């Protein structure tokens, strides 16, 4: 983690859309609205997937509408406590809010991609990050062709970005984080 923080300091302050979650939350006191909107932008689609799973499992009519309502409820309920606690623990704290708003089973349906977000914003290559963001937003279901259409890039480029980005995520995990630190930050659930 120290290497990552040093690297970001040397590069200058990252923009909100590329800042790691820890940095994003450190900026919350001075830019609360912008930080909250960026937090929502990053996680909205996967929280919506969890809410849709929850509604479908419960037989709720108008799944899309109710899922959208529950998604917003999770974010709005988290807002008062967003800046509280350690910035490094924000994903773990928000996971608790998702579980309280929905249930454990709904969160479990997104857990695989949810905690990978912790590593995602440590990527230095913006294109790798954007390609993996799109993949994670789909719950890992998007094809390279779908991501290429979304990002307006050639399919071969997206395939390379995904491959290189995943390799870099593993390198970041092994080089920038201690295992105990990751377990604490992700409740021991980072795959």
Question: Of all residues in the chain, what percent carry a pLDDT higher than 90?
Answer: 48
Give the domain extent around 134: 2-185
Helix axis angle for 2-11 and 155-176, nearest 10°, is 120
Structural contact between residues 137 and 48, judged by C-beta atoms closer than 8 angstroms: no
State mean pLDDT over 149-161: 93
Residue 66 pLDDT > 90, yes or no?
A: yes
Report d(CA 171, CA 167) in Å as an integer. Answer: 6
Query: Per-residue pLDDT tens for 89-116?
Result: 899 999 999 999 999 999 999 998 898 8
Per the document, the length of the chain is: 191
Is residue 191, in this structure, part of any structural domain at all?
A: no
Q: Which two tokens stand for residue 63?
A: 């799944």
Is residue 190, in this structure, part of any structural domain at all?
A: no
Q: Which two tokens stand for residue 69?
A: 């309502």
In three-state form (DSSP H/G/I as H, E/B as E, the rest C), the secondary structure along the chain is CHHHHHHHHHHCCCCCCCCCHHHHHHCCCCCHHHHHHHHHHHHHHHHHHHHHHHHHHHCCCCHHHHHHHHHHHHHHHHHHHCCCCCHHHHHHHHHHHHHHHCCHHHHHCCHHHHCCHHHHCCCCCHHHHHHHHHHHHCCCCCCHHHHHHHHCCCHHHHHHHHHHHHHHHHHHHHHHCCHHHHHHHCCCCCC
Is residue 111, in this structure, part of any structural domain at all?
A: yes
* Per-residue confidence band for 9, with pLDDT thresholds at 50, 70 and 90: very low
Q: Residue written as tokens 């996967």?
A: 46
Residue 13 pLDDT > 60, yes or no?
A: no
Is residue 23, in this structure, part of any structural domain at all?
A: yes
pTM: 0.84
Residue 23 pLDDT > 90, yes or no?
A: no
pLDDT at 5: 47
Q: Which two tokens stand for residue 34?
A: 């912008």
Is residue 133, in this structure, part of any structural domain at all?
A: yes
Number of compact structural domains in the chain: 1
Is residue 10, in this structure, part of any structural domain at all?
A: yes
pLDDT at 14: 64
Is residue 122, in this structure, part of any structural domain at all?
A: yes
| Higher pLDDT among residues 105 and 188, named by residue | 105
Is residue 85, in this structure, part of any structural domain at all?
A: yes
pLDDT at 42: 92
């Amino acid at each position: 983690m120290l290497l990552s923080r040093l690297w970001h300091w040397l590069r200058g302050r990252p923009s909100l859309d590329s800042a790691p979650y820890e940095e994003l939350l450190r900026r919350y006191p001075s830019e609360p609205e912008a930080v909250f909107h960026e937090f929502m932008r990053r996680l909205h689609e996967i929280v919506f997937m969890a809410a849709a799973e929850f509604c479908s499992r419960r037989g709720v009519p108008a799944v899309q509408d109710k899922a959208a309502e529950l998604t917003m409820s999770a974010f709005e309920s988290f807002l008062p406590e967003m800046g509280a606690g350690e910035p490094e623990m924000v994903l773990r704290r928000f996971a608790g809010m998702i579980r309280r708003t929905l249930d454990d089973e709904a969160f479990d349906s997104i857990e695989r991609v949810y905690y990978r977000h912790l590593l995602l914003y440590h990527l230095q290559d913006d294109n790798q990050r954007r390609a993996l963001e799109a993949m994670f937003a789909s719950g890992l279901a998007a094809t390279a062709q779908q991501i290429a259409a979304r990002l307006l890039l050639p399919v071969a480029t997206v395939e390379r970005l995904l491959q290189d980005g995943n390799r870099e995520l593993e390198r970041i995990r092994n080089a920038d984080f201690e295992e105990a630190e990751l377990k604490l930050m992700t409740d021991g659930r980072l795959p």
